Amino acid sequence: MSQVLMPKATAVWLVENTTLTFDQISAFTGLHPLEVQAIADGEVAGGMTGLDPTTNGQLTKEEIKRAEGDSKARLKLSPRDVPMPVARSKGPRYTPVAKRSDRPDAIAWLLKVHPELQDSQVAKLVGSTKSTVQSVKDRTHWNMQNVRPRDPVTLGLCSLKDLNDAVDRARRKAAREDAARKKAKLQAGEPEAPAEPQPEAPEVDPAEADQPDVAHNDAGEHRS
């Protein structure tokens, strides 16, 4: 649903220039009716310049007159001809400056505890880059001597939900790839690896089965 631009400033203008009710202004701007009343009383938004919604194409004067004539009517936003901005794809997670020095430790922990994660997943979780992840992995990071694996959730670099979701996706992908490899081998006629033989239990002479255990000492003597 379209949102009103600068709702508080728009509410100031509507309060000052129309006879619309507080409820009508509240419904249009998304502000609470008490906040609209506070604007009218001068307790909120004092000194704020009102924004005329008719000049930016959000409302028409005819729409305002229609609502002024019926206190139960609700204002409707005018359709906008301006195309909506294209949403940006999510980039690397933002990491506060104070926590950026903890990222190599978090990367080391993830590589150690969750090796199934891809480098891109590790980088996204802690807000780093694939090159940094690779440098920690091959121990060429410039500060490698001070890197100590630490849980990124404890460090506040990612949430437990994000970590669990990433691990779950990595494991599902690994399972799919393993199944695809097995299917390809079967189609190529390659036999599956034989199961390792289980060691057979030694045969026991029935006559010896009833004998008590005998413990041998280093001198070759025994005692019952």
The amino acid at residue 106 is: A
List, as one string, the DSSP characters of 116-164. TS-HHHHHHHHT--HHHHHHHHTT--TTGGG-----HHHHTSS-HHHHH
Pull the structure tokens for residue 53.
């919604």
- Summarize pLDDT for 150-205 with one digit per residue, the tens: 999 988 888 888 999 999 999 999 889 888 888 888 888 766 555 555 555 455 45
Residue 88 is predicted with a pLDDT of: 52
CB-based contact 156:124 (threshold 8 Å): no
Question: Is residue 73 scored above 60 in pLDDT?
Answer: yes
Residue 193 is predicted with a pLDDT of: 57
Mean pLDDT throughout 35-42? 86
In angstroms, the CA 209 to CA 37 distance is 96
In angstroms, the CA 221 to CA 143 distance is 62
Pull the structure tokens for residue 111.
């590589």
| pLDDT, the chain, mean | 80
CB-based contact 127:95 (threshold 8 Å): yes
How many other CB atoms are found less than 10 A from the CB of residue 217?
8
Query: How many C-alpha atoms does 194 have within 13 Å on its Cβ side?
Result: 3
Residue-level length of the chain: 224
Mean pLDDT throughout 19-35? 90
Residue 8 pLDDT level (bands cut at 50, 70, 90): confident
Residue 112 is predicted with a pLDDT of: 94
- Summarize pLDDT for 53-67 with one digit per residue, the tens: 888 888 899 999 999
Domain ranges of the chain: 7-68, 97-187
CB-based contact 9:50 (threshold 8 Å): yes
E strand intervals along the chain: 215-216, 222-223
